[in-house]
């Protein structure tokens, strides 16, 4: 494990470095507090640090305070080394953000034991961060396809629509539905249906840019958000995405020909309308693509005055 030593006395620094290297640590040694702060604030900084209290440029407690303000970085376990042994100084050191405090001269075996405590704390912290990220991922992603779930993709779409309107740009919204997907489940089983959905998700992600969004809208429907998409290029990009799906998919039951129909909407053509209106518009365009023979796309046209009556859900969802 990497460890930083910040000690201005060259002899003490060298002895401490040798002792820790013999203990199996990857040691980085510096001679003042400014250098220590630069190292601890860098990318992939050591997670363990031994800081002398009295150093040029910055003292040990000042380094601790500066690092604790950088909440975005992984946690660093910092131990202050000092000849000061009063209770008041101990309180000052710990309140500066240090995790432990060792008075000089110290026993090297005691130092190793305290560092092992620090390693256990860092391991626990890493596990908590991993658990938090797993919970966040499960809350925002679809478990089958690992795409954004409906709530997450709609939240990002809403944010992107506001941004594009503010910056006078256009967002392309694609709502796609797998053609005749019910037949796949009915004839080959739901496990094969899951294979198809997972592969479609992979192909959709491969067909868009890293800063575009793809989400599972529900069932066999997928929502694709193309950020900052020129209206002149939107239909062509949507057609490329459709073609990326219209290729045989290998399943456990053999190759399967699959296609998707898409409704496509350019936000700049609709103006500052609500998310619900835009979703209704692109859903209507998707229905038109289904009615037009499937495996195609239709552009959503904004109503001139008010939205037409909503298409009954049972008609929209019937044998797509």
pLDDT tens digit string along 162-173? 999 899 999 999
On whether the CB atoms of residues 76 and 105 are closer than 8 A, the answer is: no
Give the CATH fold of the 150-316 domain. Alpha-Beta Plaits (3.30.70)
pLDDT of residue 306: 52
Q: Which residues pair with 218 in a beta bridge?
A: 221
On whether the CB atoms of residues 257 and 306 are closer than 8 A, the answer is: no
Packing angle, helices 234-245 and 190-207, rounded to 10: 140
Confidence of residue 305 (pLDDT cuts 50, 70, 90): low
Segments of the chain assigned to CATH 3.30.70.270: 150-316
Residue 145's φ and ψ, nearest 5 degrees, are -100, -15
Alpha helix stretches (DSSP H) within 41-75: 60-68
What lies within 8 Å, CB to CB, of 128 at 6+ separation is none
Segments of the chain assigned to CATH 3.40.50.2300: 2-140
Percent of the chain with pLDDT over 70: 95
pLDDT in tens, 236-248: 999 999 999 998 9
The first and second tokens of residue 93, run together, are 């050191």
* Sheet with 2-6, edge to edge strand ranges: 26-30, 2-6, 48-52, 77-82, 100-103
pLDDT of residue 189: 94
Q: Which helix (H) or strand (E) holds 249?
A: strand 249-251
Selecting among 57, 220, 240, 314, the annotated active-site residue is 220
At the second CATH level, the architecture of 2-140 is: 3-Layer(aba) Sandwich (3.40)
Give the DSSP letter string of 168-220: T---EEEEEEETTHHHHHHHH-HHHHHHHHHHHHHHHHHHS-TTSEEEEEETT
CA atoms within 13 A on the CB side of 281: 24
- Of 105-119, 224-238, 296-310, which gets the smallest average pLDDT? 296-310
pLDDT of residue 311: 53
Residue 248: count of CB within 10 angstroms of its CB: 10
User: pTM higher than 0.75 for the full model?
Assistant: no
Query: Minimal CA–CA distance to 217: which of 269, 297, 275?
Result: 275
- Of 9-23, 92-106, 110-124, 297-311, which gets the smallest average pLDDT? 297-311
Query: Minimal CA–CA distance to 229: which of 171, 181, 271?
Result: 171
Q: How far apart are CA 320 and CA 311, in angstroms?
A: 14
Is 110 among the residues known to form the active site? no
257: helix, coil or strand?
A: coil
For range 40-49, the mean pLDDT = 92
Strands 297-299 and 213-218: unpaired
DSSP letter (8 states) at residue 86: -
Q: How far apart are CA 74 and CA 44, in angstroms?
A: 9
Residue 54 CA from chain centroid, whole number: 41
């Amino acid at each position: 494990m990497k460890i930083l030593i910040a000690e201005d006395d060259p002899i003490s620094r060298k002895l401490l470095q040798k002792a820790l290297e013999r203990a199996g640590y990857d040691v980085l040694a510096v001679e003042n507090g400014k250098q220590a702060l630069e190292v601890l604030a860098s990318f992939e900084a050591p997670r363990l640090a031994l800081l002398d209290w009295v150093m040029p440029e910055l003292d040990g407690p000042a380094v601790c305070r500066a690092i604790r303000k950088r909440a975005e970085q992984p946690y660093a376990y910092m131990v202050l080394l000092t000849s000061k042994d009063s209770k008041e100084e101990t309180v000052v050191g710990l309140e500066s953000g240090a995790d432990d405090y060792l008075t000089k001269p110290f026993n090297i075996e005691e130092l190793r034991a305290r560092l092992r405590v620090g390693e256990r704390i860092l391991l626990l912290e890493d596990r908590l961060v991993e658990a938090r990220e797993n919970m966040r991922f499960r809350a925002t992603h679809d478990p089958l396809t690992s795409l954004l779930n409906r709530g997450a993709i709609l939240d990002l779409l809403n944010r992107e629509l506001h941004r594009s309107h503010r910056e006078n740009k256009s967002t392309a919204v694609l709502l796609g539905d797998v053609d005749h997907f019910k037949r796949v489940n009915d004839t080959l089983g739901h496990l094969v249906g899951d294979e198809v959905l997972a592969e479609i998700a992979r192909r959709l992600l491969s067909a868009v840019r890293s800063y575009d969004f793809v989400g599972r809208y529900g069932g066999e429907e997928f929502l694709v958000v193309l950020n900052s998409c020129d209206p002149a290029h939107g239909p062509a990009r949507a057609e490329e995405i459709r073609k990326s799906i219209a290729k045989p998919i290998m399943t456990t039951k053999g190759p399967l020909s699959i296609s998707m129909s898409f409704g496509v909407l350019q936000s700049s053509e609709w103006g500052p309308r609500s998310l619900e209106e835009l979703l209704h518009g692109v859903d209507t365009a998707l229905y038109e693509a289904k009615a037009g023979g499937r495996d195609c796309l239709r552009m959503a046209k904004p109503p001139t005055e008010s939205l037409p009556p909503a298409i009954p859900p049972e008609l929209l969802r019937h044998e797509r």
